[in-house]
Amino acid sequence: MKTMVFSVDFYAEERKNVRKTVLLVTLFYLMMAAFGLIIDLSFGLFPIFSTVFLAVATIQFLVSIFSGKAMVLKSVGARPYNPADYEEKQLKNIVDELTIAAGLSEPPALYVIENDEVINAFATGFKREDAVICVTTGLLKSLDREETSGVIGHELSHIINRDILIMTMISALIGAVVIIQVFALRALFSYLRFGGFARSRRRSKKGDNSTLAILAFLAAVAGLATLFSFVGKLSLFAVSRAREYFADARAVELTRNPVGLAGALRKIALKSKKLKTASTATAHLFITDPLKRKVNEKVTAFASLFSTHPPIYMRIAVLENRPPEEVKEELRIQ
């Protein structure tokens, strides 16, 4: 079997990720300020909503720095690894070995999700020093040492490349827009549910349009938040796909073995099931889509807008230097 020769400047990629994060945060603050300003100017409320939205952005930014990792681990039901468990002890040994190979000062903390039917893993954290690698018990039971090393190499690559920084930040910032969207939609539906339209018609007949103005205001906030959230998610998906190829390449560099990671991806494609504790907010962090959405196996222009991961068969094809269609047929992907 031929081995793919990778030509990625990983140090340049790391610096690029840091620059992207700074640019992303700056754009996000400008977006939130514009968002509030549009509403303030439309309804003559300046600077109330400009101030509120910037405050929400700042709170979300700070929460992502200090609590983002803990929130992710709790949301997927992860626990610290158990050194008394034989399989988890073997995992710890692999992580320690690859940490040395990667030149990191100390290994990341290990967490485990109790789910034997799912083969998956992810890395999270804000800095290299507080990074975490989390795997499922299904991964520990299904993969051999070579395959597990491939997966751990991939996750260590996300830590080294500072992918975890930009991905954690994107998740948090999009979360801020979603919070505004949810509050506006709930307020709008509650207002309509308790007779907003009826009051609007009665008051319009009397020349009082205050109810109509409230409805228009809530609809405008919800609509703009939905638009901004959609744009943010599209950028998230694009960043997610590109980083997976880079992490695969660096995993090969760390393990000096593309076969292990390719074997792990093959087992994930054929055996793994949907992880019920994962969500659209955390799916992009995993090595493969834990929600098993078919859009991630498509290569059309439309699918590329909404997929968080490149197709597994494409990743295996790159690692094994084989035609993608041949791998796709082998995996029986429609």
CB 138 within 8 A of CB 150: no
HSE-CB at 187 with a 13 A cutoff on CA atoms is 16
Among candidate residues 11, 62, 56, 61, the one with its CA nearest the CA of residue 32: 56
CB 168 within 8 A of CB 125: yes
CB 73 within 8 A of CB 57: no
- Of 13, 147, 155, 244, the active-site residue reads 155
Determine the distance from the C-alpha atom of residue 230 to the mean position of all C-alpha atoms in its chain, rounded to a whole number: 14
Among candidate residues 275, 247, 242, 256, the one with its CA nearest the CA of residue 115: 275
Q: Could you confirm whether 325 is annotated as catalytic?
A: no
CB 44 within 8 A of CB 188: no
CB 229 within 8 A of CB 177: yes
SS3 sequence, 13-57? HHHHHHHHHHHHHHHHHHHHHHHHHHHHHHHCCCCHHHHHHHHHH
DSSP 3-state of 136: strand
CA distance 170 to 315: 24
Which residues is 62 bridged to in the sheet? none
Give burial (CB, 10 Å; 0-12/13-18/19+) of 272.
buried
Point out the residues that are catalytic.
Answer: 155
